[in-house]
């Protein structure tokens, strides 16, 4: 698979004749009536909301019907980030009264948590025009929608949309499929809290008798997917509670339970949630600490260093080239923890050298590839970003720092469909700073800058500008493999 080929950011999949699911990082649902359309959850950000609207306009059964309602199933940023876009085209934004309150009260903490994972959010979501305090029915023209809160699930404000004529329920993050579910946002005391509340909500959902359940993340759910979600919840509720009853301290509990996870759990793909997150969530429900939840005790995903080995490796090192060589040897041997420790030491010994901070950031980004969860990768990404910003504080025109930061931002945008403008600005600064690419390091930096600017244009859907940038990269380094791959896409 070509890692730099053009990508599709979300696609509409037909569930019934008049219901579609827009599969992306987060799912949105599209419900078509005789007179109008409703959208459930407005995507991660405004760029992706606009992509969703274009996809809806392409439907043969759209017939220029207005999007009358945009409904938020809960307050999380990835389900409300496109509210402004839908409001701008005339949709009425609807949520529960509780969701509106949570957006007001919890957005700062959400932003702080996600920033600590390496995700910078845009402006706060547009809040609902209409809020619901009790079950409500909407009509799209021979298409009725029943909106109600069945109980607490991943969040306490979970809203369910039942479309009986289509046999569908839009569940938001009450249901997640296709990868290990995230059983509650780390900084909030809600979710899988050591009680059966979420299971009871799922029972209420199943009592509606849906043929199809459209989840907040993952493929459409049916009996097998719902049974797996319930089985996972029961397993962690029972196993964590048993160890809490034994009085095991948290580190011991985690080590003990992780060493005994059955294959049916470890074989589930990981994207956001992880078994460790599930353990921590249940533990904090059973052994509450304070209102911060468990974020402050979450073990870092950055692997621990072999302290003795790191000290021995660093003792004779003085030049950056020596630190690079030592870290490279450790990395090649699979000891990322000690390699990162060596790179971190380089930033202490060579604190005033921007190249040391860029070296440290590059190693952290490579280390992030060793973990699957997007949230766990954030442990690496936040340190990498801080290192690159520090390098630019030391030398605001440092070409390699601008290229490294631009590359990081562009790859995030390219994978997620976000706006690549900020990353492209760093890359343009690098291009402008290299007047004459006479030295190989400058040629490499210039080729990378052109290439990643091309990926930014590709993210925006402008293939002509993208290919011009790939050509520019190859004019600098004719054998630059990423550009050759991108040209094949």
Give 434's pLDDT tier (boundaries 50, 70, 90): confident
Strands 136-139 and 37-40: unpaired
CATH topology of domain 397-489: 1.25.40
Q: 3-state class of 152 per DSSP?
A: coil
Q: Taking residues 70-96, report their average pLDDT.
A: 97
Percent of the chain with pLDDT over 90: 82
485 within 8 A of 467, measured Cβ to Cβ:
no
pLDDT in tens, 229-266: 999 999 999 999 999 999 999 989 999 999 999 999 99
| pLDDT surpasses 80 at 46 | yes
The DSSP symbol for 15 reads E
Look at phi and psi of residue 247 and say left if phi exceeds 0, alpha if psi is from -120 to 50, else beta.
left
**Cα 297 from chain centroid?**
21
Q: What angle do CA 365, 272, 105 make, to 5 degrees?
A: 105
State the CB neighbour count (10 A cutoff) for residue 251.
10
Residue ranges covered by each domain of the chain: 11-234, 300-368, 397-489
pLDDT tops 70 at residue 462: yes
By C-alpha distance, which of 399, 398, 402, 407 is closest to 453?
407
Angle 479-466-53 from CA coordinates, rounded to 5°: 145
Residue 169 and residue 160 in contact, taking contact as beta carbons nearer than 8 Å: yes
CB distance 488 to 2 below 8 Å: yes
Q: What is the average per-residue pLDDT within 346-365?
A: 97
Alpha-helical segments (H) within 89-196 = 97-116
- What pLDDT sits at residue 436? 58
DSSP per residue over 336-367, as a string?
Answer: HHHHHHHHHHHHHHTTT-HHHHHHHHHHHHHH
> Residues with Cβ < 8 Å from 151, sequence gap 6 or more?
158, 197, 198, 200, 201, 204
Let me know the angle formed at the C-alpha of 272 by 77 and 167, rounded to the nearest 5 degrees: 70
Residues in the chain: 489
User: What confidence category does residue 8 fall into, taking pLDDT thresholds of 50, 70 and 90?
Assistant: confident
d(CA 415, CA 401): 21
Give the separation between CA 415 and CA 438, rounded to whole angstroms.
33
For residues 405-424, one letter each, b for 16 or more C-beta atoms within 10 angstroms of the residue's C-beta and e for the rest, the string is: bbbbbbbbbbebbbbbebbb
Write the DSSP symbol of residue 221.
B
Write the pLDDT tens digit of every residue in 84-128.
999 999 999 999 999 999 999 998 888 888 777 767 777 899 999
Mean pLDDT rounded to a whole number for the chain: 93
At 180-228, the pLDDT tens digits run 999 998 778 899 999 999 999 999 999 999 999 999 999 999 999 999 9
The highest-level CATH class for domain 11-234 is alpha beta
239-243, 396-400, 404-408, 430-434 — which is least confidently predicted? 430-434
The β-bridge relationship of strands 67-71 and 37-40 is parallel
Of 467, 458, 471, 476, nearest to 8 by C-alpha is: 458
Around Cβ 309, how many Cβ atoms within 10 Å? 15
DSSP 3-state assignment of 27? coil
pLDDT at 439: 47
| Residue 61: per-residue pLDDT | 66
pLDDT value of position 291: 53
Tens of pLDDT, residue by residue over 18-29, are 999 999 989 999
Residue with tokens 């999949």: 13
pLDDT for 112 equals 82
Average pLDDT over residues 405-434: 93
122 or 315, which is more confident: 315
The closest alpha carbon to 82, from 121, 42, 23, 35, belongs to 42
Residue 297 pLDDT greater than 80, yes or no: no
CA distances (Å), 303 to each of 182, 339, 467, in order? Answer: 22, 10, 39
Phi, psi of 219 (to 5 degrees): -65, 160
Residue 63 has pLDDT above 70, yes or no: no
**pTM listed for this prediction:** 0.90
Give yes or no for a contact between 487 and 467, defined as CB atoms under 8 angstroms apart. yes
Q: What is the mean pLDDT of residues 1-20?
A: 93
């Amino acid at each position: 698979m070509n890692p730099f080929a053009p990508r599709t950011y979300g696609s509409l999949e037909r569930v019934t004749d008049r219901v579609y699911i827009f599969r992306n990082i987060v799912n949105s649902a599209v419900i078509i009536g005789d007179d109008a359309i409703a959208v459930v959850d407005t995507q991660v950000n405004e760029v992706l909301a606009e992509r969703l609207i274009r996809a809806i306009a392409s439907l043969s059964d759209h017939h220029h019907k207005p999007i009358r309602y945009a409904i938020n199933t809960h307050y999380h940023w990835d389900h409300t980030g496109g509210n402004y876009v839908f409001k701008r085209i005339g949709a009425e934004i609807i949520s529960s009264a509780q969701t509106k309150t949570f957006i007001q009260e919890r957005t700062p903490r959400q932003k702080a948590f996600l920033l600590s994972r390496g995700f910078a959010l845009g402006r706060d979501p547009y809040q609902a025009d209409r809020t619901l305090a009790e079950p409500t029915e909407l009509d799209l023209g021979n298409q009725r929608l029943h909106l109600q809160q069945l109980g607490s699930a991943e969040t306490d404000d979970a809203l369910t949309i039942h479309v009986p004529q289509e046999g569908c329920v839009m569940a938001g993050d009450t249901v997640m499929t296709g990868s290990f579910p995230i059983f509650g946002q780390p900084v909030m005391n809600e979710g899988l809290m050591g009680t059966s509340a979420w299971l009871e909500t799922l029972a209420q959902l199943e009592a509606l008798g849906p043929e199809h359940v459209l989840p907040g993340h993952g493929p459409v759910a049916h009996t097998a997917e719902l049974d797996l979600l319930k089985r996972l919840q029961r397993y962690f509720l029972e196993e964590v509670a048993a160890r809490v009853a034994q009085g095991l301290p948290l580190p011991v509990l985690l080590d003990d339970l992780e060493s005994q996870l059955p294959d049916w759990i470890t074989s589930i793909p990981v994207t956001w949630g992880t078994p460790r997150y599930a353990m921590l969530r249940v533990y904090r429900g059973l052994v509450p600490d304070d209102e911060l939840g468990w974020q402050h005790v979450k073990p870092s995903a950055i692997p621990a260093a072999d302290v003795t080995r790191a000290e021995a490796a660093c003792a004779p090192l003085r030049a950056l080239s020596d630190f690079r060589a030592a870290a490279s040897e450790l990395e090649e041997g699979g000891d990322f923890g000690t390699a990162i420790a060596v790179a971190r030491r380089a930033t202490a010994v060579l604190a005033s050298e921007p190249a040391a901070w860029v070296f440290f950031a590059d190693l952290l980004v490579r280390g992030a590839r060793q973990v699957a969860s997007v949230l766990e990768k954030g442990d690496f990404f936040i340190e990498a970003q801080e290192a690159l910003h520090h390098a630019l504080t030391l030398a605001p025109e440092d070409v390699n720092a601008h290229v490294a930061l631009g590359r990081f931002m562009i790859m995030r945008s390219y994978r997620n469909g976000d706006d690549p403008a900020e990353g492209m600005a760093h890359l343009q600064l690098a291009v402008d700073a290299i007047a004459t690419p006479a030295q190989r390091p400058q040629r490499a930096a210039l080729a990378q800058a052109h290439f990643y600017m091309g990926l930014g244009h590709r993210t925006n859907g402008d293939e002509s500008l993208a290919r011009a940038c790939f050509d520019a990269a190859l004019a600098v380094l004719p054998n630059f493999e990423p550009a050759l791959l991108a040209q094949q896409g």
